[in-house]
Chain A
Amino acid sequence: EAGVVQSPRYKIIEKKQPVAFWCNPISGHNTLYWYLQNLGQGPELLIRYENEEAVDDSQLPKDRFSAERLKGVDSTLKIQPAELGDSAVYLCASSLDPNGSQYFGPGTRLLVL
């Protein structure tokens, strides 16, 4: 069974540029999460989806970050414009439901110059 797929795996951009990350969850998983992980820290939740509905986006910096999961499957996370402090690993995870174990994708490593 395929795991959570993310792309790109690495991204280098200049500050003020836009960037987008894509996630394909495990088939049948209704709950999807985006996390941010800084070096030496644990992941921090940015947003959680139940199907296509964002049920918890309280930690998402909405001035520059946006996310969507239009058909309740794939999801994209966008940053516009990117800042130097956005350099981090962006992890996507999915679970069957909110009670289920979360499975993480390999992440996208973002470097903002």
Chain B
Amino acid sequence: GNSVTQMEGPVTLSEEAFLTINCTYTATGYPSLFWYVQYPGEGLQLLLKATKADDKGSNKGFEATYRKETTSFHLEKGSVQVSDSAVYFCALRTEAGTALIFGKGTTLSVSS
């Protein structure tokens, strides 16, 4: 079946460090891929998305590239800030699907 696997957290970084959160997926066809972010006490917000192979989604300094050959959509940021501390969810929606399929989430904690 369709699924999303994220690296387990928590990920703990110092301010200005480089961030990578790994995400791989299993799906038929050509799904759309998403990263959502959840700040403490809030709902999920769309961070970025990519809809076809080799697309790069980007927002707020975060980037992720849709890699069909490795079925991956890793999230990266060159220099994290304390305000980036949150839970990050990778998700997919298949061409025939209705709802999103989420990974279990990765908690990021950034200290100054």
Q: Do A and B come from one complex?
A: no
